[in-house]
Chains A and B, each alone.
Chain A
């Protein structure tokens, strides 16, 4: 609750700071505000289950942990924004304010107790992201990405709203508890309005987390958006989306598990296949990361489909490991692509990484750890993420799904290792890549956390 209020107000403060002549205060101010929100987040840590706004918004340990992951990712991404001060066209105050506002949407998606809150959260997050995607106004690629994201996002919202209307028609309530009691009362006699409504809401949400077959916008949008905002989309939107899906399915619809799990399992397998196999054929690292984000949505969907007691932990740990590794990957991509720019735009292909280990061993190391974590190699957080996800599927005896997932992880190793090979084995030009000291600290911190949680995953549960 506190972070929502704090960030809504502090976002406006950031907008006002934009009036100042010197733009150099914006970045430290935004980072400070994120820290303040993080402190505010833990004020309610020991209060147990709280309800706000007449029971429309819930706060408990699970939502607070999701909030913390989102805030921490946002902190790292904001810390990595560079070059806004020198760029005449950039509007850093607006960007930072929009990022803070979009976090408010993410919190609402994480803690919603009423479908109105879910809708508002999704919209706050998405509308801010549409603007940020198109923030590079003169760049046609950014324009195109913004239009595609906007049209597809609005379309998905429409579908989700129709689903919500049908759920309301069936159960007479927008609150998760009201729907849950309707579901448990009518378990024997199915209401088709409810089923259709649930399917449409699921489709709308799966659009947002880019699960196949609703993923087709993802590669283009991730590719066209400025890299820093792509990192934001790939981590925060996905974490919040899965938190919302988990809340919806575990809370309201656990009574009709037998209805939704077959549908979800088909989509899961499809997502895994599409994400991993198409990623192999990409020449651009950034586009590969887009497909990798689709495939990781597939792994997270495995945990959702199995929906056991472990799911909660599996989704939390997986989204944390995925967020840190993805932020590291983008953190390396941004300076490398800028340094090797081709024809006036950043070079995001695999070739840009040739010889990185000699030019800048630190970046090469960060890249290696993040790729290993995304591939799920032991001693990184990504391994334990996959382990928890698979063990929740084992509990449900979804063995065939695990076989597909393991095969697809093996495919994943191929394309994740391609960039490591480029960095260590290939010869490239010897232009040194300069990065700011603060940027370095953020990258090292994220890498160390990835290794730390890889060595001792119990730390995470102990912290909860």
Chain B
């Protein structure tokens, strides 16, 4: 890692590696949630956890390099995630109206 000089000391109290480990752990928890949970909303929350671990990682890198582009990217991720939530919840509501459940195990119409 190249260390530019302008990093505030307070940031360096926690090494970059710790941020990396924390966000990787959050990301893996998110992946496990997506792969094992059966409730559409919980899967959705796990995806959001993955996105937020990315945000954390980007901010950590960004402040260690004192480079604002990483933080700009975080804004983009938050805006797009909000749009995705709007569409995703609409889809889940539509399914709930038709089937009265959001358990993905009951969605077995498509097979072959």
Same complex for A and B? Answer yes
Q: Mostly helix, strand, loop or mixed at chain B's interface?
A: helix
How does the 8 Å CB contact mask read for B4-33 relative to A, with 1 for contact and 0 for none? 000000000000000010010001001100
Query: What's the Cα separation between A406 and B84 when bound, in Å?
Result: 41
Residues of B within 8 A of A (CB): 2, 20, 23, 27, 30-31, 34, 40, 43-44, 47, 50-51, 53-54, 57-58, 61, 65, 67, 69-70, 72-73, 76-77, 80, 83-84, 87-88, 91-92, 94-95, 98-99, 104, 107, 109-110, 112
Residues of B within 8 A of A155 (CB): 31, 34, 47, 50
Residues of A within 8 A of B104 (CB): 147, 151
Q: Indicate whether A165 sits within 8 Å of B83 (C-beta atoms), given known contacts A141-B109, A154-B44, A154-B47.
A: no
**Smallest CB separation, B100 vs chain A (Å):** 12
Q: How far, in whole Å, are A145 and B111 apart by their CA atoms in the complex? A: 11
Q: B63 → chain A, closest Cβ, in Å?
A: 12
A276 CA to B2 CA in the complex, in Å? Answer: 48
Interchain CB contact (< 8 A) of A145 among B69, B84, B110:
B110
8 A-B pairs in the complex with CB atoms less than 8 angstroms apart: A130-B91, A140-B109, A147-B91, A155-B34, A158-B30, A158-B47, A168-B61, A169-B20
Chain B residues whose C-beta falls within 8 Å of the C-beta of A148 in the assembled complex: 107, 110
Residues of B within 8 A of A158 (CB): 27, 30, 47, 50-51, 54
For B65, the chain A residues whose CB sits under 8 A away are 172
Q: A151-B34, A168-B70 are in contact. List 18 more A-B contacts (CB 8 A).
A: A119-B76, A127-B84, A130-B91, A138-B98, A140-B98, A140-B109, A157-B84, A158-B30, A158-B50, A164-B73, A166-B57, A168-B61, A168-B69, A169-B20, A169-B61, A223-B110, A224-B109, A224-B110
Select B61's contact among A123, A154, A165, beta carbons within 8 Å.
A165
Bound Cα distance from A148 to B110, whole angstroms: 11
The A208-244 residues at the B interface (CB cut-off 8 A) are 219-220, 223-224
A161 at the interface (CB under 8 A from B): yes
How long is the Cα–Cα vector from A173 to B61 in the complex, in angstroms?
Answer: 11
SS class of chain A's interface: helix, strand, loop or mixed? helix
Question: Across the interface, do B94 and A134 meet the contact criterion of CB distance under 8 Å?
Answer: yes
Chain A residues 116 to 154 lying within 8 A of chain B, measured CB to CB, are: 116, 119-120, 123, 127, 130-131, 134, 137-138, 140-141, 143-148, 150-151, 154
Q: A148 to B77: give the CA distance in the assembly, Å.
A: 22
With A123-B80, A134-B94, A143-B91 known as contacts, the answer to whether A162 contacts B50 (CB < 8 A) is yes
A138→B94 CA distance, assembly (Å):
9
Q: Which residue of B lies closest to A196 (CB)?
A: B24
CA distance A164 to B80 in the complex (A): 15
Nearest CB to that of B47 among chain A residues?
Answer: A154
Check A313 for interface membership: any CB of B closer than 8 A: no
